[in-house]
Amino acid sequence: MYTIKEINTKKVWNNFVLNNEFEFYSFLSSWEWIEFQELSWKKVFKFWIYDKQNNLIWLLPLIKNVAKRWTYLFAPHTPLIIKDIDFFEVLNNILPKLKSFSKQEKVDFIRFNSPIKNTILNKKLFEKLGFINAPMHEHAEDTHLLDLKPEIETIFSNIKKDDRYYINRAIKEGVEIVIWNTKKQKELLITMHIEHSKKIGYHAFSYEFIENLYKVFWKNITTISANYNWKCESILMTIKFWKTCVYYIASSDIMNSKFSPNYLCQWEAIKNAKESRCEIYNFWWVSPDDNPKHPIAWVSRFKRKFAWFDYSLLHAQDLPITKKYWINYLIENIRRIKRGYYYKKPE
């Protein structure tokens, strides 16, 4: 009933996203993300699924990740499926082909980080097809989204009064905003990001990782910094894809907490996204609740100050292919427990 083809056409791939009204998508769904993976010497299978009328209905990139103990195929914020098509009917239909392909590629499991809502029904439908909860996340699943369609004054007024104060105070104090992708800005972001990770204790992206992001997404990356007394106190990177702008990497070294430049830097990023005709500003990963013990509780509180709503994707789902998968399951589960991560239950 459904046909799988592997085709290498960037324009058609991105146009499929641009021409369909998907409820959730991100730059991980773009052709550029495929190019980014290939820069890291990863093999990516670019599958397109067609119905019996030969209409393109799915995009399914599968990134082949090779580790010491196991190999797996990963679909980040995909498959993207057009409206009025049953996601699970298609998946059930193509699953035998995916399993056969997985054995051909000698992988131990397939992982789907699908852009579908975190509901009990979706979880049960995945279970019926043999999927189980992945022991660990790979990308943002609980996100915080800001609707950019209202007037900018309305968006600003929705921020709590105390937090608007920080923005206005930073402007009065003469905090300088720099919006530019110069080599100096890029190097500053990388340096501050790595140093900040050491202070706070989170896993930093590598120099090569960030460098490759700039190479591939250079048209859609915006680097914004907030400087006071000639010193950068806050810097961030956003990545735009179609009508969504993602707040992806940031760092800070705040010396003036009375008018923390973080707030003004973030506000300028929101304004810039709106001026770029984006309709959604995605704050990316947030904790599933307000528990202060969650590893990213501190940054989640900050993101949620820019009011709007949380959006929860179903936790990543794994389809075991070989017995070696269970070694991976055990190791990743131990890592998750040690790091203190947990995920929002389906509703």
One domain, residues 220 and 86: no
Q: What is the CATH number of the domain that holds 80?
A: 3.40.630.30
Is residue 111 included in any domain, yes or no? yes
Mean pLDDT in residue range 215-222 = 96
With 90 as the cut, is the pLDDT of residue 8 above it?
A: no
**178-204 residue pLDDT tens:** 999 999 999 999 999 999 988 887 889
Domain span at residue 189 reads 143-311
User: Quick check: 287 pLDDT over 90?
Assistant: yes
Tell me if 346 is assigned to some domain.
no
Question: Do both 296 and 160 map to the same domain?
Answer: yes
| Confidence band, pLDDT 50/70/90 cuts, at residue 171 | very high
Please tell me the predicted confidence (pLDDT) of residue 308: 87
What one-character-per-residue DSSP string does 121-177 give?
HHHHHHHHTT-EE-SS--S--EEEEEE--S-HHHHHHTS-HHHHHHHHHHHHTTPEE
CA 83 from chain center: how many Å?
22
Other CB atoms within 10 A of residue 61 CB: 25
Is the domain of 101 the same as that of 73? yes
Neighbours of 274 (CB within 10 A): 19
Mean pLDDT of 37-65: 95
Average pLDDT estimate for 279-285: 97
Q: What is the pLDDT of residues 53-107, one digit of tens each?
A: 999 999 999 999 998 889 999 999 999 989 889 999 999 999 999 999 999 999 9
Q: What percent of the chain has pLDDT over 70?
A: 100
Same domain, 275 and 328: no
Backbone angles phi, psi at 176, to 5 degrees: -90, 130
In a domain, 345, yes or no: no
Quickly list DSSP for 44-87. EEEEEEE-TT--EEEEEEEEEEE-SS-EEEEEET--EE-TTS-H
Neighbours of 202 (CB within 10 A): 14
Three-class secondary structure of residue 99 per DSSP: helix
Number of domains in the chain: 2
Same domain, 194 and 82: no
What strands, in cross-sheet order, belong to the sheet with 280-285? 176-179, 221-228, 231-241, 244-252, 280-285, 142-147, 309-312
| pTM across the whole model | 0.95
Peptide bond into 79 cis (omega under 30): yes
Q: What is the pLDDT of residue 185?
A: 96
Strand segments, DSSP code E, in the chain are 3-6, 43-50, 56-66, 71-76, 80-81, 109-113, 132-133, 142-147, 176-179, 221-228, 231-241, 244-252, 280-285, 309-312, 317-320
Both 163 and 294 in one domain: the answer is yes
Any domain includes 347: no
Same domain, 149 and 70: no
